[in-house]
């Protein structure tokens, strides 16, 4: 579709030099603006490989990936990095916060990359983002002073501070207890609804997948099923 935020066509990924092993076998996938989709599948199905390709952290062996109107085939590393920074946000199972920095400074880090220094306007944006995730009063706390759920909220604020078009979340609640996981899921959903922000969430949690609008199941490097709002028909590959 021409208005797709994300479009994959015939995406294949292989590893190995002398003996090549194909992990993804011709993936076709579209995500529209505002979708809230889960990507599920057993271990070894290719979920992480697919997420790395969509996140522009790796290149497909064959096929095309188009994000926010940009054809990524042929882009050099600098252009890919620029597109990644402008368009994508990342949330991981483990927060990857810098322990020596405060919550606000962790958010300011990606903002300071271009200028090479912290600016007062960066702190204002960081404080606003922390307030949005309910941590406006913990801006000066270091990660070790925050609970697991609070650290994940900081990580979400960091992912959203650039106002990306697409957020890729890899097991965002996998390290949390059930109640905290529900809170984090509700926070992601709120940003989806209020900002029409698109999410693709990799999860092993069937409760989380069931609460997404769309569930894409990957099995042995192929899309086995695609159900819910926005789902596509996928011919046998």
Beta strand pairing call for 88-92 and 36-40: unpaired
Beta strand pairing call for 21-31 and 6-15: antiparallel
Identify the residue with better confidence: 43 or 174: 43
Model confidence over 68-94: pLDDT tens digits? 999 998 899 999 988 998 899 998 877
Instruction: Map out the domains of the chain as residue ranges.
Output: 6-228
CA angle 56, 58, 62 (to 5 degrees): 100
Distances from the Cα of 95 to the Cα of 57, 91, 92, 215, angstroms: 18, 8, 6, 24
Strand, coil or helix: 33: coil
Class of domain 6-228: alpha beta
Place of tokens 């497909």: 60
33: tokens are 């603006």
What's the pLDDT at 1? 42
pTM tops 0.85, yes or no: yes
Q: DSSP character for 76?
A: -
Task: Confirm if 65 and 7 have CB atoms less than 8 A apart.
Answer: yes
Average pLDDT of span 25-45 = 93
């Amino acid at each position: 579709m021409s208005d797709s935020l994300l479009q994959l066509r015939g995406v294949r990924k292989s590893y190995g030099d002398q003996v090549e092993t194909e992990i993804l076998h011709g993936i076709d996938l579209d995500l529209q603006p505002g979708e809230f989709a889960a990507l599920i599948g057993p271990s070894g199905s290719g979920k992480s490989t697919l997420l790395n390709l969509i996140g522009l952290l790796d290149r497909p062996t064959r096929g095309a990936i188009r994000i926010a109107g940009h054809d990524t085939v042929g882009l050099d590393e600098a252009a890919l990095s620029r597109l990644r920074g402008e368009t994508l946000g990342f949330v991981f199972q483990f927060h990857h916060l810098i322990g020596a920095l405060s919550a606000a400074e962790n958010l300011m880090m990606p903002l300071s990359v271009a200028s090479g220094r912290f600016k007062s306007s960066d702190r204002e944006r960081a404080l606003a983002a922390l307030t949005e995730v309910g941590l406006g009063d913990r801006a000066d706390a270091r990660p070790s002073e925050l609970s697991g759920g609070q650290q994940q909220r900081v990580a979400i604020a960091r992912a959203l501070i650039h106002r990306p078009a697409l957020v890729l979340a890899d097991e965002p609640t996998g390290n949390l207890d059930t109640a905290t996981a529900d809170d984090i899921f509700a926070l992601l959903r709120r940003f989806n609804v209020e900002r029409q922000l698109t999410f693709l969430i990799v999860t092993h949690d069937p409760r989380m997948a069931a609460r997404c609008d769309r569930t894409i199941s990957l099995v042995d490097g192929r899309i086995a099923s695609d159900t819910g709002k926005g789902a596509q028909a996928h011919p046998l590959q």
